[in-house]
Amino acid sequence: MNTPIKFKNVFYILLGAAIMSFGLVYFNMENNLADGGFTGITLILFFMFGFDPAYTNLLLNIPLFFIGWKVLGRNAFIYTLIGTTSLSLFLFIFQRYRFLEIPLHDDMTLVALFAGVFIGVGLGIVFRFGGTTGGVDIIARLGFKYYGWSMGKTMFLFDAAVITSSIIFYLNYREGMYTLVAVFISAKVIDFMIQGAYSGKAAFIISDKSKEISSCILQQMDRGVTILKGTGSFSGLDKEILYCVVSRNEIIRLKGIVEKVDPHAFVTVNDVQDVMGEGFTLDEYKRPIEH
């Protein structure tokens, strides 16, 4: 059964497409920078033949719409259709109604940085709310869905192939190198937007005073703790293992509590790329639940 299309998702997909289009028009097209994927192909056609990316983006993506429908399903297809058409729409608008001038022709480092950030933030928002802007975005989404490939890294590989073609056909080596910088930044920003919006630290704590430690964490940090059962391989004794997820700026405080209660406790800390639930994506003032 298909879930209904969410207005919130549509809104953020439109927002992400607008941010990406702004970056393409004001930084890439304005300063002769290429891009990767199908967007890069539209820029090649623009710089070489003057074809409007607003139109070529739609024409190139028509075959992939069928793949999106058959493989991604109804909702993902609709979100992709919205993302692709809105990208073309905002490209059309920003090219014809220039309400801002950003004279950075003499500072290509800033151009590359801002191009990467705007495109990365825009695509990251689109991806996070279930959409794509067509082209390689669809391929990257399929790789993420079925194989767990990083969407940013998958896109970077495709981008590299298109950028190489751009250098051959119309870019000089200086513009090509700045383009690579912009694409690398956008790939990192995409991964952060998808995986790192609610990142944290996960701690495993082994101690003979596990009850006291969990009580202190609950009372002093207002964080939930899960008690896992384990067995020491050398002693053969049953052990209680505490598992607790906290935000990055709380990990020092957590370790301080553990050390105060039991200086001999064994603690490991791991990075958590994404966290959902109370204290993170829900109301942080609600009573914490066990993980």
DSSP string, 42-66: HHHHHHHH---HHHHHHHHHHHHHH
Give the pLDDT confidence of 72-113 residue by residue, as tens digits: 678 878 888 999 999 999 999 999 998 888 888 889 999 999
pTM of the entire predicted model: 0.74
- Mean pLDDT of the chain, nearest integer: 84
- Residue 289's pLDDT band (cuts 50, 70, 90): very low
Give the pLDDT confidence of 9-25 residue by residue, as tens digits: 999 999 999 999 999 99
Query: Pick the residue with more confidence: 136 or 42?
Result: 42
Delimit the domains of the chain by residue range. 7-195, 200-288
Q: How buried is 16 (Cβ within 10 angstroms: 0-12 exposed, 13-18 middle, 19+ buried)?
A: buried
CATH number for the region 200-288 comes to: 3.30.70.120
- Give Dmax over CA atoms of the chain in angstroms: 75
For the ranges 15-19, 225-229, 256-260, 280-284, the maximum mean pLDDT occurs at: 15-19
Closest-CA residue to 136 (of 114, 119, 163, 157) = 157
Q: How far apart are CA 179 and CA 189, in angstroms?
A: 15
Query: What's the pLDDT at 87?
Result: 96
3-state secondary structure of 73: coil
Average pLDDT over residues 104-132: 91
pLDDT-wise least confident of 77-91, 232-246, 252-266: 232-246
Query: What's the pLDDT at 282?
Result: 57
Query: What token pair was written down for 2?
Result: 């298909």
- Torsion from C-alpha of 22, 23, 26, 30, nearest 10 degrees: -140
Backbone angles phi, psi at 144, to 5 degrees: -70, -40
Instruction: List Cα–Cα distances, 47 to 28, 38, 181, 223, in angstroms.
Output: 11, 14, 20, 55
